[in-house]
Structure 1
């Protein structure tokens, strides 16, 4: 994804709002959770800790996300915090009798990512008391993180991390590489893979591992095995190199 695409995506549209946070360390930890997932807009509503952007605990917990912490805005009301937003989601482990519709983090993320005109906000409350009812009632939806019903309490930064993770997955879309971060080469073509299978079969016959007159299901099973690996061109070349060396050093049968 290039920088232009990110600038118009959920990464720049999503705002995290913390209401009356007590511990400076939790503010720093939320900043870190946000940055690890590519988000940067943080707003604090009447934090209960002094100097939350420069407090040593906040700085320590923010780790490499000092820029997110330092650029956070401090406001005096939820109205100010939500200025410019047209969709707000309250985050709470406690369901309310008169709450807006209850969504999961994944439902919120999918909805927010799909609509470029949406300016969404995630609103998280105080560590001990959560969000007051009057703030929840101002939001469009209430997000409840599915958790162990016998112990569903998440630390503030843990909840923010879950939400940021789901939002990142929704923003990236189906292009995410399920195998993780790291170098990946070009995917091998069907023709390259079929050529490898023929070369490998020839080598297996040469060493007597495969009976050409009675092959049974060996090659189909090998094909199924390799199909699960999503072979890359370089990997196909390695396997063909192995087959080549086997044939080179195996006398004709």
Structure 2
């Protein structure tokens, strides 16, 4: 019987289900069964009575052959070859959004001598070249500035619905930018408040950031400006500030529309 390292927040029902799943895979695959990773709400202490278990069953290539993901109301069991976890899908590819599924996900069983926990952590973080890929190659920084600028142009010109729509459109670009600047993969929206509160970003205090996001979604021009100031400061603090600052400098005097007048101006 595999000895699982179960988080204290799990319900007895979930703990029992996970042990049964581990026992079954151990019996089926023996040495080909390399570990378990608990993703989803249960892995992050956010489970409700309606939550199922999202479990990565990590296997050797031979053990994974012929296995498919199985889903039930209680458990989604995802057979995952260890070699697949060694690959890191790039931003903009089909596999990118699966990377955050590993973020902060507890490893319940590791038979790889520490390789599996390292791979899980690596999926949720961005190396410098990956940060550049998000911010520069895929234009997430420039795109964020574009939508924020459009929102404030609409505000200036009295187009209030258009202001709110462009402000809302800026948010996904903003979040990609913010998390990439911090070397992390952006979470799914469901987990954004949880991540900001439990794994804070140095330049983005949780409650202040969530307030800015809510106000931005309401189309508040002041929130759009306050947010841009924070982004600009984070850009200047980044190790690759030179190239990123060039992106901002390319906007020239148009950035004046994005900067608050007086105290607080970057």
**What TM-score do you get using the length of structure 2 for normalisation?**
0.25
Structure having greater relative contact order (Cα 8 Å, sep ≥ 6): 1
Bigger CA radius of gyration: 1
TM-score by length of 1: 0.26
Return the structure number with greater helix share: 2
